[in-house]
Structure 1
Amino acid sequence: MIKAAPDEAEDGVMTTPVRKGDMQVTVTETGTLDSARNAILTCQVEGSTTIISIVPEGTFVKEGDIVCELDASALVDRETTQKISLTQAEALLSQAQENVEIQKTQNESDVAAAELKLSLALLDLRKFEEGEFLQQVNELSGAVTLARENLSRAEESQAFVKRMAQKGYRSQNDLEAERIAVTKAEIDLKVAEEKLKVLKDFTYVRTLEELQANAKEFEREIQRVKRKSVAALSQKQAELSKCELTFKVEKDKYERIVKQIEACTIRAPQDGQVVWANARDPRRSDAPVIEEGAVVRERQAIINLPDYDAMKVNARIHESRISLIKTGLPVRVRIDAYAGEVFAGVVDTVSSVPLSNSSFSRGDVKEYEASVRLTDAVEKVNKLRPGLSANIEIIVAELSDVLLAPVQAIVTIGRDQYAWVRSGDKYERRTVRIGRTNERQIEIKEGLADGEKVVMNPRTLFAKEVGQLENELAKKEAEQSAEGGPRRPGGPRGMGGERRGPGGPDGADGSSPIIPGRPGIPGERGSREPGAGESGRPQGGRPDASQLDAGRVRPQNEGSAGTRGPADFPVETKPAEAGATSSENRQAPALPLPAATK
């Protein structure tokens, strides 16, 4: 980048020629060094505990070395109690497992007994149908046949005795005896026939139905036994599941306590230098401190083990310039502890959301976190240490062979930019169109020529003319407002405008502009026009959100006729329209050389 020529004081007026040259558009911020591969050792004990011993800060340790010991006395007591609970749960689980096996055996026995009863019932039914009933029928049928034979013989005997009695060979008593014998034989026959009928018509049917009903009942009994067996087994299995779950819960509790006891001894996961995690918060008086005897909570960082071979810079980017920052952009890094030495880096990550605490002390202005990875050789990087302050200069764009002017030589009024150019022994006001800018220089696209000398402090030397232009603009906008006409974007002074890219009208990326000389931003020099007095923005104060609108910095007293510093002009403006007659666009007549000022 070609620096502007030294200012020239002619008749007490500071001027400098505009020249063609190269310019880098950069974003400068401050940040803090950190390791890109940082092992963070945290407290893994539930609740809180106390640090018993810790390795002194700065000690170099090897992988596996003990670096911190936490108080585990309460955990040891809990381990003993939990061990008893675990043993009881294990005994109940074993008993439940045995109960399940016993129930399975009992179920098998009950089902087998029911099936046996059914088999016996079916056998009784078959025995009756194919054995007992036929036997009884045969017996009663034989009795009927025998009774018939007896009746036939009695009748024959009666007939014989009757003939003999007629001949006088038998007595009347013999005849009466034969009659009684016949009657008895008839009764015996009738009884035998009735028994056979009862057997076939009643006894058989009743016994058959009874045996069949018994068989069906035993079939149903088998189903009941099976269902009862399933229910009983399910109950035992449910008890087993309960005991298994209880055992698992108690075991998990025990193992967790054991792990926490082990976690009370913290070992180094890698080689490195011990750094206590004493990241104090300036907004809190009760920020946690790491030391012996300190109480630490679960997941609280205790020790950092940085890898010095890979370092990075964590920086905060103002919201007005975050759209300019992309991953992969080259960065120049300067470390306060190594003055004069420049480190190379590249933008590694850019946060997509603002920091949650960035507006705590900065009003409504938001900031985004960006990480810059150092790309120099390990031998150069590993001498750095986390926590060192660093200044980063992100190279957003590089312009070649463009016309450049100092930023303080340009005055913005509304949406127009002006420069005062020396012409012989007088000065004339020019409307210019600007492009990209950085903290020191601004690209001139139209309105100036190479070699022309511009006034370095126009707001001081031409304060009256600047005030007239601003008053005319305010009056014109007030008239438009009273008539209901359109207003310039960004309030009565037209400072809002539309968001434009850093390339001006010809820009292709459409990103937010770089605002030159923004005061108060870390790593950026606030600009204040020499001699501007209260009209310039003071150094050291970051503009709040009310001063930022689409990449522009609004005046602090917007709408007033007060003057503004060179940091107030936007990145680009439209060229003066042809034929314009307003005092903003027409070229001012040459002014006589002002008197020399001390």
Structure 2
Amino acid sequence: MKSSETNMIPWNALHSRFNKLKLHNNKFAISTMGLIVIVLIIYFVFSVGSNNNIPLYKIKRANFLISITESGELRAKNSISITAPRVRGNLKIVYLISEGTFVKPGDIVCKFDPSEILSSLKDAQTRLELTLMDKEKLKANQNASLAQMESQLKSAELSFELSLMKLDQLKFEATAVQQQAKLEHEKNKIGFEQTKQEYKSRLSINKSDVERMDVEIRQKRDEITKVQRDLELLTLKATSEGIVVYSNNFSNQGRKYSIGDTPWAGAEIITLPDLSSMESRTFINEVDISNIKVGQKVIVRLDAYNDSSFFGTISSVSSIGKNKDMTSNIKVFEVIVSMDNSSSILRPGMTTINKVIVKQRTKVLYIPQEAVFRNNDANIVFIKHGSGFSERIIQLGEKNEDYIVVTNGLSDSDEIALLNPNAEIKTNTNDESINSTEAYSIGKSK
């Protein structure tokens, strides 16, 4: 029995010790697993919550464009102008065909208020009627006067003939009686000749007065014809096929003409453009105009069609600047961009975004401007390394509106942050931001 009990004691102790060791190992394993979970949570919160949400830019070599971008407006190179008529009086638009309408020759495109010219026509017709009445009155007076003169002429002629007969009858009378009859006859002869001459003069004067009245009547009729022609000119018609485009009313802040406007005579109201050859008219700031040259290529994009782009060439650069608008002292220069190709979607009046290619560099590294930051007066970027970022100092070159060339410090396929990964934002009552690195991009305002 003793021998048996002695053999049982080691096994019980070993089993107890094994249970204690197993419990200790379980506690250690649980603690280790808990620690690992906490580390993973911390890593996930700080890694995924910050760095993994930062947008990246992958660097590659490509052609770099240095450009100047300005908005413009499409127009046709060649077009037919329809202008306000040169008529007497003021003009006021009372009808305009809808812009964009396709018209044929003879179609009415614009009408002006005829009331003023109708009033002038009525006055001219009244003046003509009065002149015609004056002529009739003149002719009546002339006829009455001529009738009276004809009677006087006939009487003078009879007196002349009677005195001649009496002179013949008294040829055997005394010399004194014959002399008296002869004197009477001479008197009647003179009176007859004078009356006849006055009659002829009156006929000539009457003819001249009638001719003068006829001239005045023709003038009155010509005036009526001119007013009637002016009345016809108040209706503008298309002279060829085309799409109607309103012209700008520069007396009204340059907006397009509309009903109620009062253009001056000769002002362009409508154009019928030739859509086969288009150009964009833009204005370049005086600061940039020295970089603009005839022959430079331009990328033209339409505001209405963001997915469409066209190519153009600068065909004209104005040598004289003008104020950008009525309230600005900034000087701008007109630049004309000829479209290299035609398209059915190109329409006069469309807004264009003209990107003038000033210079082009081939196969260079460039990055977005917002990816460049400043730290201790140095230009830096944040390069992606695994799950984190590291700072790197870079050297910069030329830039355009959105990108900037990197001359030293980066390589192909590097990935850089577009936001500062070190920037920590604390939300408190003062809404303060604490950045470990100055978080503003070069070329951008903070």
TM-score by length of structure 2 reads 0.51
* Counterpart AA for 1:329: Q
Query: Residue in 2 aligned with 1:374?
Result: 339
Query: Residue in 2 aligned with 1:268?
Result: 238
Deviation at 1:22, TM superposition (A): 1.8
Alpha-carbon separation, structure 2, partners of 1:50 and 1:267: 16
The answer as to whether partners of 1:45 and 1:297 remain within 8 angstroms in 2 is no
> Aligned runs of 1:5-404 on 2, under 5 Å?
16=57, 18-43=59-84, 44-51=86-93, 55=97, 57-63=99-105, 65-70=107-112, 71=114, 72-76=117-121, 260=230, 263-277=233-247, 290-291=258-259, 295-358=262-325, 360=327, 365-377=330-342, 380-381=343-344, 383-404=345-366
Query: Residue in 1 aligned with 2:213?
Result: none
Counterparts in 2 of 1:16 and 1:57: CA distance versus 1, 3 Å: closer
Counterparts in 2 of 1:308 and 1:566: CA distance versus 1, 3 Å: same
Query: Residue in 2 aligned with 1:567?
Result: 443
Larger Rg: 1
The answer as to whether partners of 2:383 and 2:392 remain within 8 angstroms in 1 is no
Deviation at 1:283, TM superposition (A): 6.5
Query: Residue in 2 aligned with 1:166?
Result: none
The answer as to whether partners of 2:75 and 2:280 remain within 8 angstroms in 1 is yes
Query: Residue in 2 aligned with 1:243?
Result: none
Give 2:393's match in structure 1, choosing from 414, 423, 430: 430
The answer as to whether partners of 2:57 and 2:416 remain within 8 angstroms in 1 is yes
Q: Secondary structure at the match of 1:48?
A: coil
Counterparts in 2 of 1:345 and 1:296: CA distance versus 1, 3 Å: same
Counterparts in 2 of 1:452 and 1:288: CA distance versus 1, 3 Å: closer
Counterparts in 2 of 1:401 and 1:37: CA distance versus 1, 3 Å: same
Alpha-carbon separation, structure 2, partners of 1:330 and 1:257: 53
Q: Secondary structure at the match of 2:325?
A: coil
Alpha-carbon separation, structure 1, partners of 2:97 and 2:366: 57
Counterparts in 2 of 1:451 and 1:56: CA distance versus 1, 3 Å: closer
Deviation at 1:55, TM superposition (A): 4.6
Query: Residue in 1 aligned with 2:166?
Result: none
How many residues align? The count is 292
Alpha-carbon separation, structure 2, partners of 1:435 and 1:16: 18
TM-score by length of structure 1 reads 0.40
1:419 equivalenced with 2:380 (yes/no): yes
Alpha-carbon separation, structure 2, partners of 1:452 and 1:60: 56
* Counterpart AA for 1:443: V
Q: Secondary structure at the match of 1:566?
A: coil
Q: Tell me: higher relative CO, structure 1 or 2? Use CA pairs within 8 A at least 6 residues apart.
A: 2
Deviation at 1:418, TM superposition (A): 0.8
Q: Deviations over 1:383-423 (max 9, x none)?
A: 43222333333222221121222222224699x76123549
Q: Secondary structure at the match of 2:295?
A: coil
Give 2:404's match in structure 1, choosing from 438, 442, 454: 442
Deviation at 1:430, TM superposition (A): 1.9
The answer as to whether partners of 2:323 and 2:329 remain within 8 angstroms in 1 is no
Q: Secondary structure at the match of 1:376?
A: coil
Q: Percent identity?
A: 26
Q: Secondary structure at the match of 1:73?
A: helix
Query: Residue in 2 aligned with 1:405?
Result: 367
Whichever structure has more strand as a proportion of its residues is 2
> Aligned runs of 1:493-532 on 2, under 5 Å?
none
Alpha-carbon separation, structure 1, partners of 2:96 and 2:417: 64
Query: Residue in 2 aligned with 1:142?
Result: none
Give 1:461's match in structure 2, choosing from 410, 417, 422: 422
Counterparts in 2 of 1:347 and 1:461: CA distance versus 1, 3 Å: farther
Alpha-carbon separation, structure 1, partners of 2:74 and 2:284: 15
Deviation at 1:303, TM superposition (A): 2.4
Alpha-carbon separation, structure 2, partners of 1:322 and 1:448: 34
The answer as to whether partners of 2:384 and 2:417 remain within 8 angstroms in 1 is no
* Counterpart AA for 2:337: V
The answer as to whether partners of 1:359 and 1:366 remain within 8 angstroms in 2 is no
Counterparts in 2 of 1:298 and 1:24: CA distance versus 1, 3 Å: same
Q: Deviations over 1:241-260 (max 9, x none)?
A: xxxxxxxxx99x97987875
The answer as to whether partners of 1:49 and 1:296 remain within 8 angstroms in 2 is yes
Alpha-carbon separation, structure 1, partners of 2:242 and 2:83: 16
The answer as to whether partners of 1:330 and 1:347 remain within 8 angstroms in 2 is yes
Q: Secondary structure at the match of 1:567?
A: coil
Counterparts in 2 of 1:417 and 1:372: CA distance versus 1, 3 Å: farther
Q: Secondary structure at the match of 1:327?
A: coil
Counterparts in 2 of 1:305 and 1:417: CA distance versus 1, 3 Å: farther
Deviation at 1:342, TM superposition (A): 2.5
The answer as to whether partners of 1:61 and 1:271 remain within 8 angstroms in 2 is yes
* Counterpart AA for 1:374: M
Deviation at 1:81, TM superposition (A): 9.4
Q: Secondary structure at the match of 1:49?
A: coil
* Structure 1 residues without counterparts, runs of 5 or longer: 1-8, 85-249, 464-531, 536-561, 570-598
Counterparts in 2 of 1:79 and 1:400: CA distance versus 1, 3 Å: farther
